[in-house]
Amino acid sequence: MARSCALIMCALLLSSWTGLSQHPAEGHWEGAITIQGIPLNIRVDIRWAADSLRATIDIPQQSAVGLPLVAVRYAAPKLHFELPAGPGLAVFDGTLSGEGVRGDFRQAGFAGTFQMHRTTMTLRHEVRAEEPVPYRQEEVRFSNAGITLVGTLTLPVGEGRHPAIVLLTGSGPENRDEEIFGFKIFRIIADTLTRNGVAVLRFDDRGVGGSGGVYAQTTTDDYAGDALAAVEFLGQRSDIDRKRVGLFGHSEGALAAAIACASSPTIAFAVFMAGPGVRGDSLILSQVEILGKAAGLDDSELQRQLQLQQRVFDVVRANDGWDSLRRDLSNEILRGYHKAGVREQGGVSVDSLAQMQSRAQIQGLSTPWFRRFITIEPGAFIRRMHCPLLAMFAEKDMQVAPEINRNRIEEYARAGGVRELTVKVIPGANHLFQKAETGHPSEYGGLKKEFAPGVLGEIVAWVARQTLSGR
């Protein structure tokens, strides 16, 4: 899942810089944060507006796009900015030299470094020249609960009513292509399916791209409602066969698809790609354990992290004990600073930083999304599904590990009304279904922007069996 609670705790807009910036810090920057020897790629866009610096950050491996930065300041040669995040305020203090920035990074008791270099990028919202495709493309709009959602509908050539599928992105604010570090996951899937006779609707998340609403206020249930609105929109079109419309969800998008399918008998089929089979709190605990082991935490430290995470869940569920939890989080952050031998950062004492970061953590933990996510039982919805289901997993996935989630989804599907269940595990693939070395999120940005062998073939063949037979 993109919204992870491990390490940083394992959370950018593309704009251009032409070399004509009026402010030394203005432009598009690319680089990485390094914590405990593990790099995390970042992209930062800084612009001068209304007599102040404004900036956003992308963290591609975590599917985080266009997160607003605060306290952006430049006093030559020092550049400072901060990212309010669920696990705690992330603070960047760097020195600008030439076309590069290097400096210190700190968040939630973790200290590291970061570096960036200025580069030229094409504006995300520019119209780019596209290669000719053998199908039609439409910009479409539909609404749910008064919120307008905007996306792209690709339609096969030919007259008549086409089968269709709606794509649902994973956690974090994502665009219609589910673009993660340049890997346009949903654009590739849409292109492949449309070339094989299936119409595909993919749309920007709430508050992203052309869609309205506020992403930070969105829960998984809201996302499921958006999916149902998309299905209804397609069913009203004369070029779509409303009896052959399915849902395709990646990661949390699969959970949203399950919720939607459970409430609507009209959905013809569903595809889960790295869909969770365990409750949200259990999924997060598994991420903490897997990523903690990968980071080299010893057993005692790992148990400390797991126990603290469990305490977080207890407080969130009870909605009681927030002050005590904030103190515990502050002490844990302070412990991390002391262990690293840090007494102050940027002239601010670590005691003050720990207080500030623990308050930011509490703010993130009390969001509607987090409160709801940790309580969602996938089985409660999968058991109520009746349509055929393809559940795909990735062998090296560290975010939705197949050994934890596969058996649960199979159990729930077979216990319920799923008419046909197909389960596939893609060898050597990570959470994005790329061919991977270890599957760790830190690899995402450096891998080829393509699917592992067999992924697209499995999807096309299975969807074709559900939609094209008997035409």
> Are the CB atoms for 112 and 106 separated by under 8 Å?
yes
pLDDT for the residue 184: 92
**Which residues are CB-neighbours of 84 under 8 A, at least 6 positions away?**
70, 360, 363
Q: Look up the pTM and report it.
A: 0.76
Q: CB 317: neighbour CB atoms within 10 A?
A: 12
> Are the CB atoms for 266 and 188 separated by under 8 Å?
no
pLDDT per residue as tens digits for the range 369-401 = 999 999 999 999 999 999 999 999 999 999 999
Nearest of 202, 199, 204 to residue 148 by alpha carbon: 204
Nearest of 382, 434, 368, 452 to residue 3 by alpha carbon: 368
- CATH architecture classification, 27-119: Beta Barrel (2.40)
pLDDT for the residue 23: 72
CATH of 135-279+376-467, one of 3.30.1490.120, 3.30.565.10, 1.10.730.10, 3.40.50.1820: 3.40.50.1820
pLDDT for the residue 407: 97
CB under 8 A, 24+ apart: contacts of 53-59 = 53/23, 53/25, 53/26, 55/81, 56/12, 56/13, 57/12, 57/83, 58/12, 58/13, 58/14, 59/11, 59/12
> Are the CB atoms for 286 and 401 separated by under 8 Å?
yes
> Are the CB atoms for 93 and 80 separated by under 8 Å?
yes
Question: Positive or negative CA dihedral for 217, 222, 227, 233?
Answer: negative
pLDDT for the residue 376: 97
pLDDT for the residue 36: 67
> Are the CB atoms for 150 and 141 separated by under 8 Å?
yes
pLDDT for the residue 345: 65
Domain ranges of the chain: 27-119, 135-279+376-467
**Which residues are CB-neighbours of 449 under 8 A, at least 6 positions away?**
182, 183, 184
pLDDT for the residue 464: 95
**CA dist list (Å): 259 to 152, 207, 215, 428:** 23, 22, 19, 29
Q: The sheet that has 270-273: what strands, in order across it? A: 135-144, 147-156, 199-203, 162-168, 240-250, 270-273, 389-394, 421-426
> What's the CA gap between 79 and 31, in Å, rounded?
15
> Are the CB atoms for 226 and 145 separated by under 8 Å?
no
> What's the CA gap between 174 and 64, in Å, rounded?
7
Which two structure tokens, joined as six digits, stand for 161?
């009513």
Question: Which stretches in the chain have pLDDT values below 70?
Answer: 1-22, 36, 50-51, 60-65, 85-88, 120-131, 345-347, 469-471
